[in-house]
């Protein structure tokens, strides 16, 4: 009987050690750790807190005023430009340019054009993520927000409560994130892999 108990204790101890070893090999990521382990975590493309894409223009050269006035993403004209916050902005018309220069904070996307949902940090530390100005955007309470995926934009347009909650967190994170970007901190350029999961935040 004693031998049987001893054998059971040895087996239990062995199973515990094996389980611990297996669990130790599995790295559990927070969202921030996940993205920072990926190769597309690089410096901003301009000395600015504003999202500047590969073509050298703020928010990829899309006209920020058009989202409000045309209710769509519209490419700006390279001959109609304005400088604001160390970035070059394009506009589809002189009228839009004048509106922007008169009140840039009314038309420029929030958080420098970086992704709303990632800036919110999913309940943790927020970070700057490249957006897709051509199809991933929404206007909420007369403010423009860009996102990094069109399915996010579609979902959030139907869920004011979620948008409001994200904005609350993102507003808290943006001051620190913007200072980090301006001082040379890295930002996230997602590969937008199809298998990346969609989290509705519900």
Range with the lowest mean pLDDT among 10-14, 60-64, 99-103? 10-14
pLDDT in tens, 170-189: 999 999 999 999 888 888 88
In a domain, 50, yes or no: yes
In a domain, 81, yes or no: yes
Q: Look up the domain containing 111 and give its range.
A: 31-185
In a domain, 80, yes or no: yes
Closest CA relative to residue 87, chosen from 42, 46, 143 = 46
pLDDT in tens, 70-94: 999 999 999 999 999 999 999 999 9
Torsion angle in degrees (nearest 10) through CA of 100, 101, 106, 108: 70
Query: What's this model's pTM, rounded to 2 decimal places?
Result: 0.77
pLDDT at 45: 78
pLDDT in tens, 97-141: 999 999 999 999 999 999 999 999 866 789 999 999 999 999 999
Are the C-beta atoms of residues 143 and 11 closer than 8 Å to each other?
no
Q: What percentage of the chain exceeds 70 in pLDDT?
A: 73
In a domain, 76, yes or no: yes
Are the C-beta atoms of residues 201 and 167 closer than 8 Å to each other?
no
In a domain, 5, yes or no: no
Q: Is the pLDDT of residue 166 over 90?
A: yes
pLDDT at 124: 72
Q: Is the pLDDT of residue 33 over 70?
A: no
pLDDT at 185: 86
In a domain, 73, yes or no: yes
pLDDT at 120: 94
In a domain, 171, yes or no: yes
Beta strands 143-146; 186-188: pairing state: unpaired
d(CA 72, CA 7): 72
CA angle 83, 177, 173 (to 5 degrees): 120
In a domain, 74, yes or no: yes
Number of domains composing the chain: 1
């Amino acid at each position: 009987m004693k031998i049987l108990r001893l054998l059971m204790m040895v087996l239990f101890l062995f199973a515990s050690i094996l389980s611990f070893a297996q669990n130790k090999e599995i790295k559990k990521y927070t969202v921030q750790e996940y993205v920072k382990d990926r190769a597309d975590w690089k410096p901003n493309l301009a000395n600015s807190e504003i999202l500047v894409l590969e073509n050298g223009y703020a928010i990829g050269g899309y006209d920020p005023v058009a989202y409000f006035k045309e209710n769509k993403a519209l490419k700006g004209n390279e001959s109609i430009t304005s400088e604001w916050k160390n970035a070059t902005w394009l506009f589809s018309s002189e009228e839009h340019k004048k509106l922007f220069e008169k009140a840039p904070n009314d038309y420029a996307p929030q958080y420098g054009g970086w992704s709303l949902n990632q800036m919110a940090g999913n309940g943790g530390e927020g970070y700057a993520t490249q957006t897709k100005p051509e199809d991933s955007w929404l206007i909420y309470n007369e403010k423009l927000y860009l996102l990094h995926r069109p399915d996010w934009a579609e979902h959030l347009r139907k869920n004011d409560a979620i948008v409001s909650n994200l904005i609350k967190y993102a507003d808290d994170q943006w001051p620190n994130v913007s200072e980090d970007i301006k001082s040379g901190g890295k930002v996230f350029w997602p590969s937008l892999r199809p298998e990346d999961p969609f989290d509705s935040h519900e």
